[in-house]
A = this chain, B = another copy of it.
Amino acid sequence: MARSSQTDLAVLAVLSVAPMSGYAVREAIRDQLGHFWSESFGQIYPTLSSLTADGLVSKHPGERSGSSVFVLTPAGRERLLDLLRAPEVTSPPRNGLMMRVFFGHTLGPDAVAALIEEARQQALTQLATFDAIAAMMADEDDHREHQPYWALTVSAGRHSTLGALAWCDEALEALTTFPR
């Protein structure tokens, strides 16, 4: 029984790169896809069970006692392709910072400026994170064929963060002229 096709997609996708344990699947999602995707433990294990039951992955004993290695089956690869070709599922937007800016009159210009300054710092930190991710990916000597695509996602993160940064600067400047 297929649960969320979104989680199916993520799990099948990471297993398409290499067979691994459930624990490793979570780490791969966190470390490699972390800036645009997330899955919790509570989703990954049940998903692996159902994918195994559906014959989309096969379960093999791992090196440690009690551990398993999950391998994508041909049917699993086909399902992955179907999911990748299916329309993207978009989640409804919820931006807490924008909510606070929109009602900035209630909060007051100084409080809003403080929030934006915080966002600005976060953006700067993120830029450094992207460098780290890029370096980590460039390190990987396996999976060379994936590398250019992976670089594109890092670049997307960078562009997005740069846009946010530009807005922060502009907004902070504009806020100085707001009535207080």
A94 part of interface (Cβ distance < 8 Å): yes
Beta-carbon contact of B171 and A167 below 8 Å: no
Say which one of A19-27, A51-59, A98-106 lies at the interface with B.
A98-106
Looking at chain A's contact residues, the main secondary structure is helix
| Residues B153 and A93 in contact, CB atoms below 8 Å apart | no
Closest Cβ neighbor of A119 among chain B residues: B88
The 0/1 profile, CB within 8 Å of B marked 1, for residues 137-180 of chain A is: 00000000110111011011001101110110011001100110
Copies in the complex: 2
By a CB distance below 8 angstroms, the chain B residues around A145 are 105, 179
Measured in the bound complex, the distance between the Cα atoms of B107 and A80 in whole Å is: 10
What separation, in Å, do the CA atoms of A91 and B97 have in the docked complex?
12
Range of interface residues on A (Cβ < 8 Å): 35 or more
Encode A106-137 as 1/0 by CB contact (under 8 A) with B: 11000110000000000000000000000000
- A binding-site residues for B, Cβ under 8 Å: 6, 9-10, 13, 16, 32-33, 35-38, 80-81, 84-85, 88-107, 111-112, 145-146, 148-150, 152-153, 155-156, 159-160, 162-164, 166-167, 170-171, 174-175, 178-179
Beyond known contacts A149-B178, A156-B171, A159-B167: 6 more, CB 8 A cutoff: A37-B93, A84-B99, A84-B103, A89-B96, A102-B149, A156-B164
